[in-house]
């Protein structure tokens, strides 16, 4: 197999994003669906297996290159980027890191090539931030596990072939790969969301679904501590880059508008209060991108500090994305509140990032705990 050049992958992604995604992103958002041709193209280009090693059918990009790819796609279309987050970062990467060789052979190559689409079935009515509280159950039955329960909203469940499902047996949480075609699996599309509208969100019900024992990921009881945390680590890394993408898009919108729009006989970009918003966006985008790269450098060798570095990047990036997109709406004024311009969509998409893959408040709790451990003086008499 020929060596993949990351720069070539990024260039192809940029061309695809600018010519085919960005012009259609508003349509995807309005119609609340990602057309099949877009998913197919993402697969054919190899993007859906971008971070998966060539051995398993992927492009083998390192975390830094994969992050840049995420930014390029995310700047053009948040829902298409969400496919990378869910399918590639969360499902495929978690299988790569934790699944048995048998399970990888069964599913990973098909996922990396985009022949099958994966989704992450975690959230439930009573299990949001408290993900360990899942009420979907599993019980052992011979060579199978039997799953029962309901997942409230699962991105891409409407089109996915495979579900990475988190379930509990009297508090012992485990993770399974469930196929859509297994008897007892049902999905029901949901709509009406603030953002990520084209991500085919669906409710998923499992009624006595018999899953082969070999579809267990890692060991019994590894569901929360290992599988969920691995999935969310890679999900957060992707969301961190998604924040950079939206903030960059917002920055370009506000700069383009401010240098064109005239009020009171002058371009509004010459007003110092507008300049403040632009200056903050320029600075914050640069800072967020560097934090993402820093997290990527920790992720590459699976450094134990990668999780905290990723939390920091995700927290900062999603926060400044919300700020930059809000400022873009402000600079565009009435036009910023109208779907004829991208600013309002960017604003809606950015808010989502402060909630998914761990709310900003949960990130703050974890980052503060890290701060106390790292920075509290050991000798408190000082």
Q: Quote the CA–CA distance of 176 and 99 in Å, as a whole number.
A: 10
Please, what sign has the CA dihedral across residues 209, 215, 217, 220? positive
For 100, phi then psi, to 5°, come to -70, 160
Q: Which of 152, 226, 155, 247 is nearest to 196 (CA)?
A: 155
Quote the least distance from Cβ 94 to another protein, whole Å.
10
Residue 32 annotated among the catalytic residues of the structure? no
∠ CA(15), CA(84), CA(198), 5° rounding? 90
Q: Quote the CA–CA distance of 325 and 344 in Å, as a whole number.
A: 8
Quote the least distance from Cβ 228 to another protein, whole Å.
9
Quote the least distance from Cβ 373 to another protein, whole Å.
5
Q: Quote the CA–CA distance of 91 and 217 in Å, as a whole number.
A: 11
Quote the least distance from Cβ 143 to another protein, whole Å.
16
Q: Quote the CA–CA distance of 167 and 222 in Å, as a whole number.
A: 11
Quote the least distance from Cβ 293 to another protein, whole Å.
19
Q: Which residues would be at the binding site for another protein (CB under 8 A)?
A: 98-100, 103, 132, 217-222, 224-226, 229-230, 233, 301-304, 306-307, 366, 369, 372-373, 376
CB 79 within 8 A of CB 63: no
- Calculate the CA 71 to chain-centre distance: 11
In the chain, the largest separation of any two C-alpha atoms, in whole Å, equals 79
Q: By C-beta, is 81 or 236 nearer to another protein?
A: 236
Residue 211, beta-bridge partner list: 145
Question: For 195, which DSSP code?
Answer: S
Residue 70, beta-bridge partner list: none
Quote the least distance from Cβ 338 to another protein, whole Å.
43
Reported as type and span, the H/E element at residue 235 is helix 229-258
Q: By C-beta, is 309 or 349 nearer to another protein?
A: 309
Q: By C-beta, is 132 or 194 nearer to another protein?
A: 132
Q: By C-beta, is 92 or 222 nearer to another protein?
A: 222
Tokens of 305: 């500090």
Q: Which of 32, 203, 349, 357 is catalytic?
A: 357
Judged on CB neighbours under 10 Å (0-12, 13-18, 19+), 367 is middle
* Catalytic residue positions, numbered: 357
């Amino acid at each position: 197999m020929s060596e993949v050049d990351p720069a070539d992958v990024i260039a192809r992604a940029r061309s695809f994003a600018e010519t085919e995604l960005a012009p259609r992103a508003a349509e995807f958002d309005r119609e609340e669906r990602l057309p099949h041709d877009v998913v197919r193209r993402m697969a054919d280009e190899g993007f859906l297996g971008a971070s998966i090693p060539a051995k398993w059918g992927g492009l083998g990009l390192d975390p830094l290159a994969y992050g840049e790819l995420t930014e390029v796609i995310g700047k053009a279309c948040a829902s298409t980027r969400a496919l990378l987050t869910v399918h590639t970062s969360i499902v495929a990467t978690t299988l790569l890191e934790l699944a048995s060789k048998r399970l990888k052979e069964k599913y990973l190559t098909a996922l990396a090539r985009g022949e099958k689409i994966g989704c992450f079935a975690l959230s439930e009515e009573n299990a949001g931030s408290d993900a360990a509280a899942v009420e979907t159950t599993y019980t052992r039955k011979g060579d199978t596990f039997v799953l029962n329960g309901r997942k409230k909203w699962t991105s891409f469940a409407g089109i996915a072939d495979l579900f990475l499902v988190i379930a509990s047996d009297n508090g012992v949480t485990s993770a399974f790969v469930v196929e859509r075609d297994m008897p007892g699996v049902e999905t029901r599309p949901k709509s009406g969301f603030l953002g990520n509208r084209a991500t085919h969100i669906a409710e998923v019900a499992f009624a006595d679904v018999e899953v082969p024992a070999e579809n267990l990921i890692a060991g019994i009881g590894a569901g929360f501590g290992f599988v969920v945390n691995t999935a969310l680590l890679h999900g957060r890394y992707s969301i961190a880059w998604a924040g950079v993408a939206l903030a960059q898009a917002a920055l370009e919108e506000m700069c383009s508008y401010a240098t064109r729009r005239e009020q009171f006989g002058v371009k509004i970009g010459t007003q110092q209060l507008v300049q403040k918003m632009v200056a903050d966006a320029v600075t914050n985008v640069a800072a967020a991108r560097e934090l993402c790269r820093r997290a990527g450098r920790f992720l590459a060798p699976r450094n134990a500090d990668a999780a905290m570095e990723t939390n920091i990047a995700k927290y900062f990036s999603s926060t400044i994305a919300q700020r930059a997109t809000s400022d873009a709406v402000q600079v565009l004024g009435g036009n910023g509140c109208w779907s004829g311009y991208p600013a309002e969509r960017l604003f809606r998409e950015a808010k989502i990032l402060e909630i998914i893959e761990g709310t900003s408040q949960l990130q703050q709790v974890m980052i503060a705990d890290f701060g106390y451990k790292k920075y509290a003086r050991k000798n408190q008499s000082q």
